[in-house]
Structure 1
Amino acid sequence: MSDSSKNKLNTRVKRIAGQVAGIERMLEEKRYCVDILNQISAVRSALDALGVELLTRHLENCVLGQGGDKQHDQAKPMSQQQLLDEVKTALSRFLK
């Protein structure tokens, strides 16, 4: 993963962490429930977007890029069936 890509993902994670901290503050301040629920919805959306980005990168670098110059350093050598099973497992966990 390039430094630019890593920085973008880290920026997203920090933004999400800030949103979660904001929910904690809202609870401490006894803010209006619907406002808190809206913030929770925003965090969920941000996490979903991050997950889609990571799944896309996984497919590009660890599945399609296996054995090539784009392969992730931590990718394990796997058969096509093993890769498919891994993606199915990751998707089923992500989509719960």
Structure 2
Amino acid sequence: MNDEEMKRLLDRLARVEGQVRGLRKMLEQQRCCEDVLTQLLAARSGLESAGQLVLERHLNDCVLGGAEVDERTKEALRETLRLWSRHSGPAG
């Protein structure tokens, strides 16, 4: 990962960390369920976004690593991953 990508990932994780601390505080204060659920969804979304960044890096570095693949094909793969993550929810 280059420095910019690492900063984006760490910033995103720091945001999620703050959201989780906020969730704990909300529960301790017995905030309404709707507010807690909204914050849970935001934290989950942040983790999913962080996972997407790592998955894209894995695709580029580990799966394709060094293979001669044109940029159009790489972008199609990235878009497929985004589409999959957007429409796949938690199991159960």
Report the TM-score when normalising by structure 2: 0.68
Which residues of structure 2 form unaligned runs of 5+? 68-89
RCO higher in structure (CA 8 A, sep ≥6): 2
1:9 aligns with 2:16: no
Q: Within 5 A, what are the aligned runs for 1:49-64?
A: 49-64=49-64
> Distance between the aligned counterparts of 2:9 and 2:26, measured in 1?
26
* CA RMSD in angstroms, aligned pairs only: 2.1
More helix by share: 2
Runs (4+) of structure 1 exceeding 4 A deviation are none
| 2:48 counterpart residue number | 48
| 1:77 counterpart residue number | none
Identical-pair percentage: 43
CA offsets, 1:57-86, max 9 Å, x none?
Answer: 10011111158xxxxxxxxxxxxxxxxxxx
Report the TM-score when normalising by structure 1: 0.66
Which residues of structure 1 form unaligned runs of 5+? 68-94
